[in-house]
A and B are shown apart, each in its own frame.
Chain A
Amino acid sequence: MIRFLLPLALAVLAPGHASASPLEVQVTDASGAPLANAVITLPAPDGFDPERHRFQWPMMMEQQRLQFVPHVLVVPRGAQVEFPNRDRVRHHVYSFSGSNAFELELYGREEARLVGFGHPGAVVLGCNIHDAMIGYIRVVETPYAAMTGADGVAAIADAPEGPLTVTVWHPYATSADGTATLALAEGDSAGRTAQISLNIRAPR
């Protein structure tokens, strides 16, 4: 009874927010080792407009020391992402990922170029000059998104109460769309960390 009353009280005390509580998800590979760079998302509330949403992290994919930094970036659909070159060599960034495909022709240091991502899904980034450079942008349509750190844990501070379907995406997941889902019954995750494991292939 208290479990139901408390969120209700919170909802009354915090008008404008659906009842919410922190959600932690621990992502591991099939052997149980923690998986970094996994993106967890929850379904968006009704009427959510991703085009107007801003995450707390910068919409920026740097090229630094011949790597994409961060390795994985989560952006809302419609985001304009900056691609600054921090190296002393030029880069030529491109993606062949479906409707988010783009190409930034050869460009030199400190030149930030903007790319818009108008479609949800995973965008694989490459550099035409440096074959070893691979990065990912996960375009989402929800405000509830987080990425796992080295410990494999991702946290969403304001996850809605009630039954939830957690979607986990990882660049190396073997499933067709790179995701796995975890259904949480109401209250399932309260005060503890939900566990999910993914089958992954070795990175290229």
Chain B
Amino acid sequence: MRKIVILATLAGAILSAAASAQGAPSRFDFETGGKLLLTRGITEVGGAGGGGITPWAVITGNETDRGIGGTVHYTRLDLPDFTFQSYGAAIGLFDRVEFSYARQEFDTGATGGALGLGNGFTFAQDIWGAKLRVAGDAVYGQDRWMPQIAVGVQYKQNDQGAVIGAVGGDSASGYDLYASATKLYLSQSLLVNVTARLTNANQNGLLGFGGDLGTDHTLQGEVSVGYMISRRLVVGAEYRFMPDNLGFARQDDWYDLFAAYAVNEHLTLTAAWADLGSIATFGEQRGLFLSIQAGF
């Protein structure tokens, strides 16, 4: 019940911020488009605008402070013993607020049989996210140390509650709270993001929330660094610390090496080499991460 209250309060704060974000326009109208290439980021696996595996402080969509934008994404990660997919949609309002939805599917394939779940057993979860940009400007604040800062929440509902309970998971639903700081260091052609996340999710929630080793939210760090090779191409690396709440299977941190390419203002393609470590006792889960994001 407490989770619901927190969500409702945050949603209220975000809505009122959206209402005041436009200043006092003489007419009610809004525009689409206007962001510079790649400055909306891509879509992270949880659905928020960001890097590949971590949210950034940028707001999704091409809109500026005068408009509305949106994105859809599909991400696939082929691992030695599993297949991971994420797809969803997000909307950005006035470069200030972002609402997102993503569905994640974790197909255990033949591994499911080995785990006693049955071949092709799939964990899936729905993730609803909201993000509010609170300070700074990642692009224009080149003369200031202050990064762009956003706070966000992700509420996740997993559809395999019985299995999660059987492996020691505490809950099939949960929420993450995070704060992200993003800054473009134009003089160095570098983009840096740091995210602090309060979470009790196991494997991002795919194996539920909390467990026999702990149920509390803990603070986890996430870092992205990107080097801009051209207006269209960024290469970089990400690292995401993970909690470890399940006794039956150690959970490792995630990291990736990525290249994101803006085909045009609407389409961004990302390829990465991602290493999710050990998942459900199956180690060395690393493979090719491919993501496509389309937006306006």
Cβ of B27 < 8 Å from any Cβ of A?
yes
Chain B: minimal CB distance from A131 (Å)? 5
Residues of A within 8 A of B (CB): 94, 96, 126, 128, 131
Chain B: minimal CB distance from A194 (Å)? 38
Interface string of B23-51 (1 = CB under 8 A from A): 00011000000000000000000000000
A-B contact pairs, 6 of them (CB 8 A): A94-B27, A96-B27, A126-B26, A128-B26, A128-B27, A131-B26
Chain A: minimal CB distance from B67 (Å)? 15
Chain A: minimal CB distance from B129 (Å)? 34
Q: Which residues of A contact B27 (CB under 8 A)?
A: 94, 96, 128
Residues of B within 8 A of A (CB): 26-27
Q: Which residues of A contact B26 (CB under 8 A)?
A: 126, 128, 131
Chain A: minimal CB distance from B65 (Å)? 16
Complex Cα distance A94/B29, Å?
A: 13
Chain B: minimal CB distance from A97 (Å)? 13
Q: Which residues of B contact A126 (CB under 8 A)?
A: 26
Complex Cα distance A167/B127, Å?
A: 65
Complex Cα distance A94/B25, Å?
A: 14
Complex Cα distance A126/B26, Å?
A: 9
Chain A: minimal CB distance from B191 (Å)? 33
Complex Cα distance A201/B127, Å?
A: 54
Q: Which residue of A lies closest to B27 (CB)?
A: A128
Complex Cα distance A128/B26, Å?
A: 7
Q: Which residue of A lies closest to B29 (CB)?
A: A128
Complex Cα distance A94/B27, Å?
A: 10
Q: Which residue of B lies closest to A130 (CB)?
A: B26
Chain A: minimal CB distance from B26 (Å)? 5
Chain B: minimal CB distance from A48 (Å)? 36
Q: Which residues of B contact A94 (CB under 8 A)?
A: 27
Q: Which residue of B lies closest to A96 (CB)?
A: B27
Complex Cα distance A39/B27, Å?
A: 28
Complex Cα distance A149/B225, Å?
A: 67
Chain B: minimal CB distance from A95 (Å)? 11
Q: Which residues of B contact A96 (CB under 8 A)?
A: 27
Chain A: minimal CB distance from B181 (Å)? 34
- 6 shortest interchain CB distances as A-B pairs: A131-B26, A128-B27, A126-B26, A128-B26, A94-B27, A96-B27
Chain A: minimal CB distance from B121 (Å)? 57
Complex Cα distance A128/B27, Å?
A: 8
Complex Cα distance A94/B28, Å?
A: 13
Chain B: minimal CB distance from A201 (Å)? 19
Complex Cα distance A128/B30, Å?
A: 13
Complex Cα distance A94/B26, Å?
A: 11
Chain A: minimal CB distance from B219 (Å)? 46
Q: Which residues of B contact A128 (CB under 8 A)?
A: 26-27
Q: Which residue of A lies closest to B24 (CB)?
A: A131
Q: Which residue of A lies closest to B26 (CB)?
A: A131
Complex Cα distance A126/B25, Å?
A: 12
Chain B: minimal CB distance from A189 (Å)? 42
Complex Cα distance A131/B26, Å?
A: 7
Chain B: minimal CB distance from A57 (Å)? 29
